[in-house]
Amino acid sequence: MGKTSDISGLIEKYIKGECTKEELEEVFLILENSNRDLNVRRILFEKWEGQNKIVVEENVDLTDELNHIHHLINLEEGHWKKEVRGIRKLYKSFVKIASILFIPLLIAGIWYYSSTQSPYLGTDAWITVNSPLGSRIKTTLPDSTTVWQNGGSTIQYPRDYTRRNRQVKLTGEAYFEVTSDKLYPFYVLSGDLNVKVTGTKFNVSSYQDDNYTSVVLAEGKVFIEKTGLSYELDPGNEFCFFNDSGRSTVKQVDVEKLTSWKDGRLIFRNDLLSDVAKRLSRWFNVEIELRDATGALLNHPFTMTIEYETLPQVLNYLTQAAPLEYTMETIKRDGVNNLSRYKYIITPVKQTK
């Protein structure tokens, strides 16, 4: 397309959202080369000036589009060996002209174009987000679904995550607030379970050193699928699948207790010391060993809430609430930084004669 009037008319159609797929691709090509064409730059400037005279609606929510831009930026910074040429090309073009043309329109254009592409490219085209022990990470997916990861967890989602391809792989623990879309469900693949939702809030826990996968529903509905098993979970309930026996259970639970970790709190209510030690180990990224020949202390219940406390403060509380004590052992030394890592050992209080 060489005529200035044709270019101006095509950009005008783009602004109004009237472009066909072929015309949209032509607009992208024009924008990509705008820095080398003075006529195009002049047209863009004129359109920009005209756009500034339009009264913009105040409550326009561009959250979805901005989240998708963030997703594309993550792709650019990932140094992938394979390139998704369409998205990468569009992103580079839009960065060049963002200060000239209309940012909301460009963001919407990226979402439109990428959402109409084919599903993810191959089974290995996944973005991985790791949450180390002792940390928590919040991720917003391109459809505005929010994921909180607990320490020692990993999520993976398709590199070209689209409305038609909403799925996440999980190892560890994560809390999901899923954007509603009844036409295209959202899937969480964790352990041997496939959790299907259309829009809801729920928690999934499937650590490799646990022998179960747990799904806790806060709001909405989830459908749990496994070979030979299908179950619809109601709010306030927990579904557990035990890997060793293949047995599954459903029970009513305290949702706040099991999901408060995403808000920076650990809640224990009559929890056994063995469970308390495991959660503290992940929370503070330390090794905690229970040494009790009789096994009596392992079943001792504890009730407490941890928010800003340090690990020594928590352990001191345990020693006050039960007849136990703790010591520290050095288990590793960093030869470069001369840093030590400690193991906390909890034992029953020694009886004096």
Euclidean distance between CA atoms 259 and 263, whole angstroms: 8
In the prediction, which pLDDT does 298 show? Answer: 81
Nearest to 164 by CA among 127, 217, 113, 118: 118
In the prediction, which pLDDT does 38 show? Answer: 53
Euclidean distance between CA atoms 338 and 341, whole angstroms: 10
Expressed in angstroms, the distance from the first to the final Cα of the chain is 97
Task: Examine residue 321 and state whether it is found in any structural domain, yes or no.
Answer: yes
Q: Based on the domain organization, do 207 and 159 belong to the same domain? A: yes
In the prediction, which pLDDT does 92 show? Answer: 46
Range of the domain at 40: 4-115
Q: Based on the domain organization, do 307 and 286 belong to the same domain? A: yes
Question: Using an 8 Å Cβ cutoff, are 129 and 139 in contact?
Answer: yes
Euclidean distance between CA atoms 235 and 197, whole angstroms: 13
Q: Based on the domain organization, do 178 and 86 belong to the same domain? A: no
Strand partners, 325: 347
Task: Examine residue 121 and state whether it is found in any structural domain, yes or no.
Answer: no
Q: Based on the domain organization, do 165 and 58 belong to the same domain? A: no
In the prediction, which pLDDT does 277 show? Answer: 94
Q: Based on the domain organization, do 140 and 172 belong to the same domain? A: yes
**Domain termination site, one of 199, 227, 258:** 258
**Domain termination site, one of 190, 223, 258:** 258
CATH number, residue 280: 3.55.50.30
Number of domains in the chain: 3
Q: Based on the domain organization, do 139 and 253 belong to the same domain? A: yes
In the prediction, which pLDDT does 85 show? Answer: 45
Question: Using an 8 Å Cβ cutoff, are 142 and 71 in contact?
Answer: yes
Q: Based on the domain organization, do 283 and 324 belong to the same domain? A: yes
Strand partners, 239: 215, 250
Question: Using an 8 Å Cβ cutoff, are 233 and 226 in contact?
Answer: no
In order, the DSSP letters of 208-239 are TTSSEEEEEEEES-EEEEETTEEEEEPTTEEE
In the prediction, which pLDDT does 263 show? Answer: 95
Q: Based on the domain organization, do 147 and 230 belong to the same domain? A: yes
Helix (H) or strand (E) holding 153: strand 153-158
Residue-by-residue pLDDT tens, the chain, 353 positions: 445 567 777 777 777 667 776 777 777 676 655 544 555 556 665 655 554 443 334 444 455 555 555 555 555 444 443 444 444 444 444 444 443 344 344 444 444 444 444 333 334 688 999 999 999 999 999 999 999 999 999 999 998 888 888 999 999 999 999 999 989 999 999 988 999 998 899 999 999 989 899 999 999 999 999 877 889 999 999 999 998 888 999 999 999 999 999 999 999 999 999 999 999 999 999 999 999 888 778 888 999 999 999 999 999 999 999 999 999 988 766 555 556 678 999 999 876 65
Dihedral sign from CA coordinates of 79, 85, 90, 93: positive
Q: Which residues contact 252 (CB under 8 A, 6 or more apart)?
A: 236, 237, 238
Burial (CB count <10 Å: 0-12, 13-18, 19+), residue 238: buried
Supply the pTM of this predicted model.
0.64
Q: Based on the domain organization, do 89 and 131 belong to the same domain? A: no
Q: Based on the domain organization, do 61 and 133 belong to the same domain? A: no
**Domain termination site, one of 258, 283, 306:** 258
Q: Based on the domain organization, do 88 and 108 belong to the same domain? A: yes
What three-state secondary structure class fits 86? Answer: helix
DSSP state of 18: -
Q: Based on the domain organization, do 210 and 324 belong to the same domain? A: no
Strand partners, 193: 190
